[in-house]
Amino acid sequence: VFVVTGGGSGIGKALARALAARGESVLIVGRREALLQEVARTSDLIQYVCADVSSASGREVLHAYLRGVPAIRGVVHNAGIIEPIMPLMDITESQWRQIMATNLDAPLFLNQLLKNQLVGGRVLHIGSGASHHPVQGWSAYCVSKAALSMLTRCCQLECDGIAFASVMPGIIDTNMQAQIRNAHHMAADKQDFFIRLKQHNQLLSQETVAIFLCWLLLDTDTDTYVSQEWDIYEKTHHPLWLRSPHQVPIWE
Ligand SMILES: NC(=O)c1ccc[n+]([C@@H]2O[C@H](COP(=O)([O-])OP(=O)(O)OC[C@H]3O[C@@H](n4cnc5c(N)ncnc54)[C@H](OP(=O)(O)O)[C@@H]3O)[C@@H](O)[C@H]2O)c1
């Protein structure tokens, strides 16, 4: 089974459906049961568990659900939040902690809970270009994703038998982009950039990202899988997975 956190919407939903289309069993996780149910209804291979991965008790719900499963083929840590988008000097401690708990702590502590079942399997951390490029108003998000990138490297160093990788999935047409377009505390030029990408149809589709992630999870050998922080905009790997009608927009 593949576990996909945040599988009720966006990239996670598209990935769950793409994995199932390739014959893989998938367990999706999220907080909103109605969304998870809708995704699970699309395939007999998709199951769901309702859990908040930012809390130890939520992670325990997932752990308990998987107790009878001897081996997990992969875990995709995709659940993530960017809000509140606000000035670094105004963010409250609890707002900061919620972003860290979701984007950084959940992957670490779920990996701990599932480590025995993951031997021989793969872990994929969904990162972001924001881990390398600071954006005004996104401080907690940028810091959490930068830390997640380093967490991947530390896991690679310490955890024998499990293949870890992280990926920058690009700028994708999901609800998170709508939150960015509607945010009140971003530099106007930066926000205009994201608004224009949407207007000019230059956002990646969720389905294209899902095909890329499926290729990483199912079709690469282990040495290749762990070899780099993957970037969907990097063209050298496109011939290996990118087929029409899927496309990766170029906006530079
Ligand atoms: N869209 C982009 O342009 C972009 C770019 C770079 C990276 N990413 C990354 O891609 C990942 C997916 O985001 P998306 O763009 O697909 O946006 P999205 O549709 O908002 O997906 C985020 C998912 O995470 C789940 N989630 C959030 N907090 C959770 C929690 N505490 N416990 C369990 N599930 C939780 C949400 O479901 P519930 O609210 O129901 O729990 C939702 O399904 C994120 O890690 C994001 O940082 C996105």
Pocket test for ligand 1, best of 15, 17, 78 (most atoms within 8 A of CB): 78
127-163, pLDDT tens digit by residue? 999 999 999 999 999 999 999 999 999 999 999 999 9
Ligand 1 centroid from CA 79, angstroms: 4
For 90, counting Cβ atoms within 10 Å of its Cβ (0-12 exposed, 13-18 middle, 19+ buried), the class is exposed
Whether residue 209 has pLDDT greater than 80:
yes
Measured between alpha carbons, how far is residue 233 from residues 44, 140, 251 in Å? Answer: 33, 24, 10
Task: Please report the pLDDT score of residue 159 as a whole number.
Answer: 94
Ligand 1 neighbourhood includes 12 CB (under 6 angstroms):
yes
Beta bridge partners of 46: 26
Using the Cα atoms of residue 60, residue 22, residue 221 and residue 245 in order, give the sign of their dihedral: negative
Task: Please state, in angstroms and as integers, the Cα–Cα distance from residue 210 to each residue in 82, 98, 221, 252, following that order.
Answer: 20, 26, 18, 23
Position of tokens 């984007």?
103
- pLDDT-derived band at 252 (thresholds 50, 70, 90) equals low
Q: Which two tokens stand for residue 110?
A: 């779920």
Count CA atoms closer than 13 A to 162's CA, side-chain side: 27
pLDDT of 134 reads 96
Distance of CA 120 from the midpoint of ligand 1 (Å): 26
Q: Which pLDDT value is given to residue 250?
A: 87
pLDDT in tens, 90-136: 999 999 999 999 999 999 999 999 999 999 999 999 999 999 999 99
Per-residue pLDDT band for 199 (boundaries 50, 70, 90) equals: very high
* Ligand 1 touching residue 205 (CB < 6 A): no
Find where tokens 């998870």 sit: 36
Nearest CA to ligand 1 atom 43: 6
pLDDT tens digits, one per residue of 40-68: 999 999 999 999 999 999 999 999 999 99
Contacts of 221 (CB under 8 A, 6+ apart): none
| Residue whose C-alpha is closest to residue 168's, from 203, 212, 198, 202 | 212
Q: Whose CA is nearest to atom 32 of ligand 1?
A: 52
Both structure tokens of 84:
């509140």
Q: Give the Å distance between the CA of 157 and the centre of ligand 1.
A: 27
Residues in the chain: 252
Q: 13 CA distance to ligand 1 centroid (A)?
A: 10
Question: Distance, CA 234 to ligand 1 centroid (Å)?
Answer: 23
Whether the per-residue pLDDT at 251 is higher than 90: the answer is no
57: Cβ below 6 Å to ligand 1?
no
pTM: 0.98
Q: What is the mean pLDDT of the chain?
A: 97
The CB of 201 under 6 Å from ligand 1? The reply is no
Give 159: exposed, middle or buried? Use CB within 10 Å, 0-12, 13-18, 19+: middle
> Residue 3 has what pLDDT?
98
Centre of ligand 1 from the C-alpha of residue 176, in Å? 7
